[in-house]
Structure 1
Amino acid sequence: MNIEKSNIAKLPTKHGQFFIKAYKYNDQEHLAIMSENFEKIEAPYVRIHSECLTGDALGSLKCDCQAQLNLALDFIAQNGGMVVYHKQEGRNIGLFNKVNAYALQDKGRNTIEANVELGFAQDERDYSVVGCIFEDLGVKKIKLITNNPEKIKYVESLGVNIVERMPAIIEANIHNKDYLATKKDQMGHLL
């Protein structure tokens, strides 16, 4: 696997002090956001957060992404760990296609139906880079912050011991309640 790694840099944020390291793989750039004490923790809290520009940066209410990211960053700043910012926008269909999927959702499709109508699987993400990041940073045992059973299966397939799963539960709103119901009922999310 051909992967490029950056140096480690400090990142002060409104959530707390972090260190960051970037990884470039298959023309996508991913980020490890680590608490200051990350290297000293035997089983750090870890969130694998898939990029969501509309949620993370713009504050979209159609999803729970920004709220989950903020929850994870706040929690990890206090308790130690890492967020892997997984740069695979729109379950890896890209921003352009995600906007088209949003337009289909505006016409009544759910998140899965919209992706499928555009010619994609319900989830196109590839978590290979996460394994490289874990290996690079010596991660063998974690407390995983997720609701997604596919992320749990992937981490287990790496031989990384999940000693605890912490849910990332966010209160629904009128704009994302159907989205969250689809994630729970059709994708098996642990909500």
Structure 2
Amino acid sequence: MTSNTPKFEFISQAKLPTRYGDFTIHGFIDHSNGQEHVALSYGNWDPIATVPIRVHSECLTGDALFSTRCDCGFQLERALENIVEHGYGVLLYLRQEGRGIGLLNKIRAYNLQDQGYDTVEANEHLGFDADLRDYAICKVMLDTLYVSNVEIMTNNPQKIQALTDLGVNIISRRPIDHGITEDNKVYLRTKTTKLGHKFNPDSLK
């Protein structure tokens, strides 16, 4: 990366019809590590409007392979549905698999979970922090799309704090308690007790 190259750069955009509606996909790159990220926008909004957004970290197993041992794919679908129902909104899709440890290490962590470790213990056993995700590019993505005020769809207060620290103006939070299965209840309980995620306690019984 040369001295005059921005760390985060918008590359291009294109139409992206989906089964939920017709979105526009916007591509970005983090030149510090070569990582590519995308934003999906739907509809139009006034720059001062409160725009519903979802900041979604890549989960190949949940998003594309339909795994029920996490709630990621279910949340992705619900977020897109919510955006279309609202008439406009943005989904930021960040390429940081397994809370930042990568796909193969996530499979290793799954193997440890199969042996009785919880999701936090498994990451730590592999030598990682519980959550290594970086949200720095989100502010650039939202600014590029003229999003000033947001309603964020999340159960994760750490994500809210990280975005707030970056200067994202979060007006409100919308819970996204969707996709709770018998396969992921223990995982979600751990995220609640150890990572501070907000779920309806009755849904995890």
Query: Could you state the TM-score of these two structures normalised by the residue count of structure 2?
Result: 0.89
Matched, 1:16 2:21: yes
Matched, 1:162 2:167: no
User: SS of the residue aligned with 2:134?
Assistant: coil
User: SS of the residue aligned with 1:14?
Assistant: coil
User: SS of the residue aligned with 2:116?
Assistant: coil
1:116-175: CA deviations, max 9, x gaps?
Answer: 000000001111111221222222211110000111101211222211110010242121
Contact 2:47 2:146 in 1 (8 A): no
User: SS of the residue aligned with 1:44?
Assistant: strand
Contact 2:139 2:168 in 1 (8 A): no
1:25-50: CA deviations, max 9, x gaps?
Answer: 12211110000225667111000001
User: SS of the residue aligned with 1:83?
Assistant: strand
Contact 2:118 2:187 in 1 (8 A): yes
Q: Output the CA distance in 1 between the equivalents of 2:126 and 2:114.
A: 14
User: 2:57 maps to what in 1?
Assistant: 50
Matched, 1:69 2:79: no
Superposed displacement of residue 105, structure 1? 0.5
Q: Output the CA distance in 2 between the equivalents of 1:185 and 1:120.
A: 19
What amino acid does structure 1 have at the position aligned with 2:76?
Answer: L
Superposed displacement of residue 189, structure 1? 0.4
1:35 to 34, 37, 42: 42
Superposed displacement of residue 82, structure 1? 0.4
Q: Output the CA distance in 1 between the equivalents of 2:85 and 2:139.
A: 25
For residues 108-119 of structure 1, the aligned pairs below 5 Å read 108-119=116-127
What amino acid does structure 2 have at the position aligned with 1:139?
Answer: V
Q: Output the CA distance in 1 between the equivalents of 2:101 and 2:39.
A: 22
What amino acid does structure 1 have at the position aligned with 2:73?
Answer: Q
Contact 1:140 1:161 in 2 (8 A): yes
Superposed displacement of residue 101, structure 1? 0.4
Deviates more, 1:117-126 or 1:23-32: 23-32
Q: Where does the alignment leave 5 or more consecutive residues of structure 1 unmatched?
A: none
Matched, 1:5 2:10: yes
Contact 2:14 2:24 in 1 (8 A): yes
Q: Output the CA distance in 2 between the equivalents of 1:90 and 1:39.
A: 35
Query: Could you state the TM-score of these two structures normalised by the residue count of structure 1?
Result: 0.95
User: SS of the residue aligned with 2:81?
Assistant: helix
User: Kindly tell me: are residues 10 and 186 of structure 1, through their superposed partners in 2, closer, same or farther at Cα, counting changes over 3 Å?
Assistant: same
Contact 1:51 1:85 in 2 (8 A): yes
Q: Output the CA distance in 2 between the equivalents of 1:98 and 1:189.
A: 20
Contact 1:38 1:82 in 2 (8 A): no
Identity of aligned residues (%): 46
Q: Output the CA distance in 2 between the equivalents of 1:135 and 1:111.
A: 33
* Structure 1 outlier segments of 4+, above 3 Å: 38-41
